[in-house]
Structure 1
Amino acid sequence: MKVAVVGAGVIGASWTTLFLTHGHEVVATDPAPGAERRLRAAVTADQGRLSFTPDLAEAVADAGFVQENGPERPELKDEVFAVLDAAAPAGTVLASSSSGLLPSRIQQACAAHPERVLVGHPFNPPHLVPLVEVVPGARTSEAAVERAVDFYRGLGRRPIRLRRELPGHVANRLQAALWREAYSLVEQGAASVADIDTAIAHGPGLRWALLGPFLNQHLSGGPGGIAHVLEHLGPPMEEWWADLGAPRLTPELARAIADGVRDELAGTAEADLVAERDALLTLLLDAKNRTEHL
């Protein structure tokens, strides 16, 4: 299949790597000067089936699937999707990688075929992290949702379908809940940035990489499972909820967080950190793929 990648930045390059790895032909487009050079430098797959054009309409004219990755600016999305709607074949799904915009808002720019517009939100980097959130809008057809889910599954991804539109979808909202309390703990002076990172990376984050919050709770309940956990730990958990912080991201707090990250890195090259992260992600995903249930 020919897949059009609209927007060739970090996310677009990662999608391109994934599509090429799974045998698809990719045509990428991005109006930014030097976009093709940067894309080809970032893509780690065989580029024999990769082409590039700065012409948006040309890029999607015969695409079987479109993955859009432009900036999170509604007015720019309107311009892009108006062209996509007019130029892409009528049966081609138009999926946006948007992490926050609602698909019903994006559909407003599509006068011809709003029914094939949806959000296909990946987690960075998409060529490694399997999650894709498929979010239909008010006018998205069931057929388009099914085509998108099947397409992402064919790429070895783990798509989930949202049953209602929400700002930030599901996974970002869950992350935001954790970040909110992490920022609050820094604001209160309860723990350092480095210690909070350690608490997650060497504690619950290890289990979260294997199972989600509900199954982790269930397994911690012994023979009684999650029902036992909720019966015995539910009341104190409600007390913790009531005590959680509600920080505002003031300049002072933002500076404290940035300073804390700088101190935590302590001279570590970020490129080395990214390389180690991606290598461990690959090992973890390989190990999970060899299990029956994870």
Structure 2
Amino acid sequence: MEAMATVMQKLRERSMMSTSNSNETNKLGETKCPKCFGMEVVFSHKDDDGYEIYIPCVCRDRNAWGRRFKNALIPEEFVHANLENYQINDDNQREMFDLTAKYLESFPADRKALQKEGAKNFGFTATIGEQRIRALRPEDRSEIKHKHNNFGIGKTHLQIAMAKQLIKQGFNVFIVSDVTFMDEMMNAKRMNDDGETYNKMLSSVLKADVLVWDDIGKAKPTEAKEGLYYTIVNERYKRKQPIIFNTNEDKSTLADRIGYAANSRLLERGQGEYYVIETEGIDWRLKK
């Protein structure tokens, strides 16, 4: 627990270097600043020619944090997820937490550094994927599923906590849930608006500093979806823009869901630290 406290203190100090702190209500923009009344600038002085000079209000940084928080589209059930309230119940969850903290500590300090240096992808995969388990004989399926369970072990909680930490540090984060996102993209593609809606949605995913992709590979695979997976993963790969993802598939079955080219880029090891690990453990949602 002492080591965990040390990690948390380091991450708090890092986030405070990027943004000023206030209560949660103000961060989310739910109240107007009494100094600038929501304008985010305050009068400073008049120059020699009599022109009024305004400077940024102290609320600007925290309001920017609030906008990034809202734009990230954090799922309602994970609004309160953070590293402090992540429950570590076994060695697997300890390993997941430690890798998460290590990744955050090594992440570029700000947007300028990220654009220059880039960052690696981060991911939690299954030891034995859902599709591999489904292919087993019914009499074998239950035992393997229990032994190598990948559900309810806290993958999404940790990655939403990562997203919130990076938002505090000034990064634009965008969060998608695989099935919902892929369905919306396919629907947008069929709209009769010359691709306006589709391209707008695609732009949000490609331009975000950090893309958090929950349950990637869950959507029913089609040729069109495989092409979309490749477009997103490849474009971010070329720009060295990180994808933080989790999946209930293993490294092989994930390729069957999103395509081999996208899978190769998503899971690339490269040089230095590798931030993609296999996970399994007790389904704590069922245990509760």
Q: Same fold (TM over 0.5)?
A: no
TM-score (norm 2): 0.29
TM-score (norm 1): 0.28
